[in-house]
DNA sequence: GGAACATTGTCAAGGCTTTGACGTTCAACC
DNA sequence: GGTTGAACGTCAAAGCCTTGACAATGTTCC
């Protein structure tokens, strides 16, 4: 039975504050569900913000930097080989238009190559150039160093539990997924 | 020992694919850390996308709809009472400029009131109007219904474990937090 | 074959966010 | 007390994403 924390909550400790306050005023709200979603949202946000800030120091060349979404696209292409733009969008979670614009940028820097498919002339095949592979290897290693810094807070067993719980959570049915 | 899944992974199953592929080519990458962060990121993204899609049906009035960030701001003001804009930004995780713009919108619809503070004439005190309170109660109840749909996939004990693991993860030190 | 329909990548428009700058107001310090 | 410094809210610029439209190409089905 400890004292409630001092007067000024911050982004993270506000979760407690909000759940308590809302569940007192709105009886139809489930505090458990609210806490779960809010915790998940804010934890991911904090983690993403930190990893993005660390990534900001990585320079692509003297003029441009590798954006967070740029790295995501490189990851998709590195892991899944030559792919049509539509598939890249589905695997990266972005719209086709966003991928089209981002690829334009990456292609201008010589990291990915675009060539029209021969089987289906509507589609374009995207593929990492050798320079793109080298850039991805360098940048993702740096990015993963930040991931390791975070992951080290949990034991291996706890990391497995966390991934397992999230995986089970994703088996929720009747979900509005991206088209 | 089951067969690997069929040829075409989607946004969620791509996590497995990517972790396996990258850890084969980049030895300095820690697969555990990568899987943890990527799972967290994509699970939250999927959940947010679904909840946002459900929220899209809620109408503010005949012309405007309540955006996802609008609801966040209403939650902050509902839970923490009258607040300066700076505090609202800190608690909602947005920049002061973004809050300023969003509040402009909410104030135009009569949901929040702005009045200059008397103690510090630089600051503005933000507060829910009675209509804002009523709107928040209605919209957040609907939003929480979606949260309950997701939370129901886990048992109460699992929900507690998940929140506990995320809380422990947030105790990582030397983190770049928002100013 | 040809007609209706679906799909792919791209463009334009709009929305939302961040960063950096600014005027205004407060605080600190000699 | 006047000056130097800081903090607050707002504005302008830029970036990134989404949706909806479109031309080009494929597919289906009579």
Which nucleotide lies nearest residue B95, CA to C1'? Answer: C18
Considering only residues B59 and A126, tell me which one the structure prediction assigns the higher pLDDT: A126
Could you list the protein residues whose CB lies below 7 A from any atom in strand C? A 84-86, 89, 96-97, 100, 103-104, 114, 120, 122-124; B 67, 69, 93-98, 101-102, 105, 120-122
Average pLDDT over residues A24-48: 96
Question: In this complex, do B158 and A140 lie within 8 Å of one another by their Cβ atoms?
Answer: no
CA dihedral defined by B46, B51, B52, B53, rounded to 10 degrees? 90
Distance A175 CA to D24 C1' (A): 34
Confidence of residue A177 (pLDDT cuts 50, 70, 90): low
Chain A: give the shortest CA distance to residue B92, in Å: 7
- Which of A44, A168, A178 minimises the CB distance to B49? A178
Residue with more model confidence, A177 or A34: A34
Q: For residue B150, give the nearest of A21, A37, A147 by CB distance.
A: A37
Per-residue pLDDT, A41: 96
- Is residue A178 predicted with pLDDT exceeding 70? no
CB neighbours of A6 closer than 8 A, spacing ≥ 6?
none
Q: If you average pLDDT over residues A150-159, what whole number do you get?
A: 96
**Distance from residue B123's CA to nucleotide C27's C1', rounded to whole Å:** 15
Interface test with A, best of B15, B138, B145, B169 (most A CBs within 10 A): B169
Residue B56: pLDDT over 80: no
| pLDDT recorded at residue A175 | 75
Tokens of B71: 């609801």
Q: Determine contact, residues B77/B130, Cβ cutoff 8 Å.
A: no
Spatial separation of the C-alpha atoms in residues A126 and A123, rounded to whole Å: 10
Contacts with B24 (C-beta within 8 Å, 6 or more apart), sequence order: none
| Token pair 């820690």 in the structure block, residue | B30
How many CB atoms sit inside 10 A of residue B135's CB? 23
Min Cα distance A123 → chain B (Å) is 17
Q: Which positions ≥6 away from A14 have C-beta within 8 Å? A: B76, B79, B80, B91
pLDDT at B178: 62
In tens, the pLDDT along B91-136 reads 999 999 999 999 999 999 999 999 999 889 999 999 999 999 999 9
Shortest Cα–Cα distance, A173 to chain B (Å): 8
What pLDDT, in 10s, does the model give residues A90-141?
Answer: 999 999 999 999 999 999 999 999 999 988 999 999 999 999 999 999 999 9
Cβ-contact B13, B5 below 8 angstroms: yes
- Read out DSSP for A86-153? HHHHHHHT--HHHHHHHHHHHHHTTSEEEEE-SS-TT-EEEEE-HHHHHHHHHHHHHHHHHHHHHHTT
Mutate which: B39, B71, B149, B156, vs A, most A CBs within 10 A: B39
Chain A stretch 96-135, residues whose beta carbon is closer than 8 A to a beta carbon of chain B: none
């Amino acid at each position: 039975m400890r004292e409630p924390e001092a007067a000024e909550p911050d982004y993270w400790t506000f979760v407690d504050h909000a759940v308590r306050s809302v569940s007192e005023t709105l009886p139809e709200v489930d505090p458990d569900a609210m806490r779960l979603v809010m915790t998940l949202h804010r934890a991911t946000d904090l983690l993403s913000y930190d990893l993005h800030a660390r990534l900001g120091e990585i320079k692509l060349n003297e003029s441009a930097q590798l954006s967070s979404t740029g790295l995501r696209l490189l990851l998709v292409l590195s892991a899944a080989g030559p792919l049509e733009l539509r598939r890249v969008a589905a695997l990266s979670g972005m719209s086709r238009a966003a991928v089209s614009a981002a690829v334009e940028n990456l292609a201008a820097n010589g990291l990915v190559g675009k060539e029209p498919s021969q089987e289906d002339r509507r589609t374009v095949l995207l593929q990492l150039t050798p320079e793109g592979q080298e850039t991805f290897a360098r940048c993702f290693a740096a990015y993963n160093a930040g991931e390791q810094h975070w992951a080290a807070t949990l034991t291996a067993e706890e990391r497995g539990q966390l991934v397992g719980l999230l995986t089970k959570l994703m088996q929720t049915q009747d979900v509005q997924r991206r088209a």
